[in-house]
Amino acid sequence: SAPKIALICGSLRKDSINKKLELALEKRLMAEGAKPVLIDLGAYDLPLYHGDLELPDGVKRLVTDLTACAGVIVVTPEYNGGLPPLLKNAIDWTSTFSTDHFTGPVWGLASCTPGPMSGIMCMRQLNYILMRVGTEVVPTQVGVGNAATAFDGDGHLVSEPSSSLAEKMIASLFLRIKQKAAIE
């Protein structure tokens, strides 16, 4: 059956270029026979973490929604060479409750920037943080620089090498999902 793949965007901005990349990857996933699931981090109402707060319901919902998927793709902007607080907060909050969503699905990383650098520093950080919580992240990362010319009029990702990287990342995800399922 079609594997469920969650897509998480690290930007809530209406005209987010990372949202654009998320939707382009959604199209790719559907074309490859997967079932993409858009996870809107704004819908989980997570306050900024601190240790005196009670566990918000949104934490359990987010863990449940992610754990139901065989794969997770994070599509995120880079802020000052690192990952945005929206994502770090979601990782930190959920890590206090469970690791199932980190260790169950296979994860992939993508990032879009207006300039040429394509969010490599952010994905590097994210890779490290996810490693710390036991996540398997596929090695191919989808960096998309020069966002203004990376998509066609229908929202397809067309620039190279980004387009080839997306193809490779999705193929790696599918392969690892299949291999994990065969072992379990």
Residues that bind ligand FNR (CB under 6 A): 11, 13, 16-18, 77-81, 113-115, 117
By beta-carbon proximity to ligand FNR, the closer residue of 18 and 141 is: 18
Cβ contact 36:7 at 8 Å: yes
Quote the least distance from Cβ 127 to ligand FNR, whole Å: 16
- Identify any residues that bridge with 72 across adjacent strands, giving them in sequence order: 6, 107
Quote the least distance from Cβ 121 to ligand FNR, whole Å: 7
Gap between the Cα atoms of 80 and 73, Å rounded: 22
By beta-carbon proximity to ligand FNR, the closer residue of 3 and 10 is: 10
By beta-carbon proximity to ligand FNR, the closer residue of 65 and 78 is: 78
Gap between the Cα atoms of 100 and 105, Å rounded: 8
Maximum distance among all Cα pairs of the chain, rounded to whole angstroms = 48
Quote the least distance from Cβ 16 to ligand FNR, whole Å: 3
